[in-house]
């Protein structure tokens, strides 16, 4: 199978998957270059089976997408591939992808809480156009919900006045500012390192685990 067949060129998440291969040293990339793809990708996590990065149209600052490295359109496609695939390699990859999603969803959630100081967040997963799935590649949204009237502003990130929450992830969406994205992603990677017990820091505007 060719690379083009394995990673559909029309899928932006597959383009990210190709641009940011996993490292053998850590699932948390060290200062990844956001300009490897267009629009920029602010990467947080890169493993053999899943990736996490900031949504480029966030509902709230820190809005994260957790997705599979391999291309599956809907959540049920993971099950179909893991049980009905004729090829053992595809079956094993789908099973590993399912396990990795389950493993990293709570870990990325904990890092989101640590980095932003929020107490509440949504986890949203859409399947198909009628369910508001925009990118046809299975992914989870982790959307922080800031308490009413809270004003954030530390380092290079100014998230402004934010409302408390809106049901099912609906809310105002604006283009992610690239400079803010760089700083937010760095803080999230630092927080994830703390959650995983990894040492080291990328430097910049704060210590690992500091809140924005």
Query: Which helix (H) or strand (E) covers residue 64, if one does?
Result: strand 64-68
Name the token pair of 44: 């947080």
Q: Is 139 designated active site?
A: yes
Q: Please identify which of the residues 42, 63, 139, 141 carries the catalytic annotation.
A: 139
Name the token pair of 69: 């490295």
Residues with Cβ within 8 Å of 93's Cβ and at least 6 positions away in sequence, in order, are 49, 70, 81
Specify the 3-state DSSP secondary structure of 88.
helix
Residue of 178, 186, 188 whose CA lies nearest to 142: 188
Sheet arrangement for strand 120-124: 43-46, 50-54, 64-68, 139-145, 120-124
Name the token pair of 204: 């910049």
CA distances to 9, 96, 106, 168, 172 from 126, in Å = 21, 21, 18, 10, 18
d(CA 71, CA 209): 32
Residue of 111, 116, 138 whose CA lies nearest to 127: 138
Catalytic residues: 139
């Amino acid at each position: 199978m060719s690379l083009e067949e394995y990673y559909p060129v029309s899928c932006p998440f597959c383009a990210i998957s190709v641009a940011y291969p996993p490292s053998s040293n850590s699932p948390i990339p060290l200062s990844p270059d956001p300009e490897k793809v267009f629009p920029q990708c602010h990467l947080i996590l890169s493993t053999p089976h899943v990736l996490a990065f900031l949504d480029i149209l966030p509902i709230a600052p820190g809005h994260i997408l957790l997705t599979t490295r391999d291309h599956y359109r809907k959540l049920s496609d993971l099950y179909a591939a893991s049980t009905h695939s004729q090829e053992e390699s595809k079956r094993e990859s789908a099973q590993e992808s399912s396990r990795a999603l389950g493993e990293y969803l709570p870990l990325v959630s904990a890092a989101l809480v640590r980095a932003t100081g929020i107490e509440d967040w949504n986890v949203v997963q859409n399947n198909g156009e009628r369910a508001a799935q925009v990118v046809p590649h299975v992914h989870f949204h982790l959307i922080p919900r800031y308490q009413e009237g809270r004003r954030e502003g530390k380092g290079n990130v100014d998230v402004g006045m934010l409302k408390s929450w809106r049901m099912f992830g609906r809310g105002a969406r604006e283009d992610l500012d690239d400079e803010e994205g760089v700083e937010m992603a760095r803080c999230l990677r630092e927080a994830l390192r703390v959650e995983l017990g990894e040492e080291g820091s990328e430097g910049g505007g704060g210590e690992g685990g500091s809140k924005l």
